[in-house]
Chains A and B, each alone.
Chain A
Amino acid sequence: GDSVTQMEGPVTLSEEAFLTINCTYTATGYPSLFWYVQYPGEGLQLLLKATKADDKGSNKGFEATYRKETTSFHLEKGSVQVSDSAVYFCALTSQGAGNKLTFGGGTRVLVKP
């Protein structure tokens, strides 16, 4: 079945540091890939997505590229802010699975001033 593996946290960074969160996946066919963010006490917000190989999703300074050859969708941001402190989830939907999102376990990021 489908699965998503992402690096465990917590990841602790200083403000303006570079952030990378690794995500790899297993899925049949050609999945769509997502990064969601969850701020403390809140639900999930879609951060970015990519629907086909080599697509780059980007939003709020975050980027991720759909790499089919390595089955990866790593999240990056060049200069983090304290407000980026949150839990980040990598997820996918696969063909024929309807709306079902398969999530990774989440990576907590803490940015210190």
Chain B
Amino acid sequence: DAGVTQSPTHLIKTRGQHVTLRCSPISGHKSVSWYQQVLGQGPQFIFQYYEKEERGRGNFPDRFSARQFPNYSSELNVNALLLGDSALYLCASSLVGRANEQFFGPGTRLTVL
């Protein structure tokens, strides 16, 4: 079975631009979470979605937004990019209510110049 997939793999943007990252969960998983991992640090929780609704939000500015589609895939959007947004963005999927069994994708490496 396919694992969590994310696209694109790498992305280079300039300050002030907007970016959209995509995630497809494991088949049957309805919950998707997003994390930001700055180089040399542990991942930080951004959002959790299931049933197309936001179920949790980390300490990130409103420039960060996300949504979930009827097929349970998800998009993470970041507006007005800053240099500090450069990071690996990770998506994790799980069955609803199974926080103890989350599976991560390979991530999207975003570089902001």
Contact of A101 among B4, B35, B40 (CB under 8 A): B35
Task: Answer yes or no: A77 CB below 8 A from chain B CBs.
Answer: no
B42 engages A89 (CB within 8 Å): yes
Residues facing B in A94-113 (CB within 8 A) are: 97-106
A101 engages B56 (CB within 8 Å): no
A32 engages B100 (CB within 8 Å): yes
A99 engages B104 (CB within 8 Å): no
Known: A45-B104, A46-B103. A101 touches B90 (CB 8 A): no
B99 engages A93 (CB within 8 Å): yes
Size bracket, chain A contacts: 20 to 34
Residues facing A in B85-103 (CB within 8 A) are: 90, 92, 94, 99-103
- In the bound complex, residues from chain B placing their C-beta under 8 Å from that of A24 are none
Contact of B104 among A4, A44, A100, A106 (CB under 8 A): A44
B99 engages A98 (CB within 8 Å): yes
By secondary structure, the A interface counts as strand
- Tell me the nearest residue of chain A to B88, going by C-beta: A43
A106 engages B106 (CB within 8 Å): no
Q: How far is the CB of A109 from chain B (nearest CB, A)?
A: 15
Task: Enumerate chain A interface residues (CB-CB to B < 8 A).
Answer: 4, 32, 34, 36, 42-46, 49, 51, 89, 91, 93, 97-106
14 extra interchain contacts, Cβ-Cβ under 8 A, other than A43-B106, A98-B48, A101-B92? A36-B104, A46-B101, A46-B102, A89-B42, A98-B99, A99-B48, A99-B102, A100-B45, A100-B99, A101-B33, A101-B99, A101-B102, A105-B40, A106-B40
5 pairs from A and B in contact (CB 8 Å cutoff): A43-B90, A100-B45, A100-B99, A101-B35, A101-B43
- Top 9 nearest A-B pairs (CB, nearest first) are A103-B42, A44-B104, A43-B104, A43-B106, A98-B56, A99-B99, A100-B45, A99-B48, A93-B99
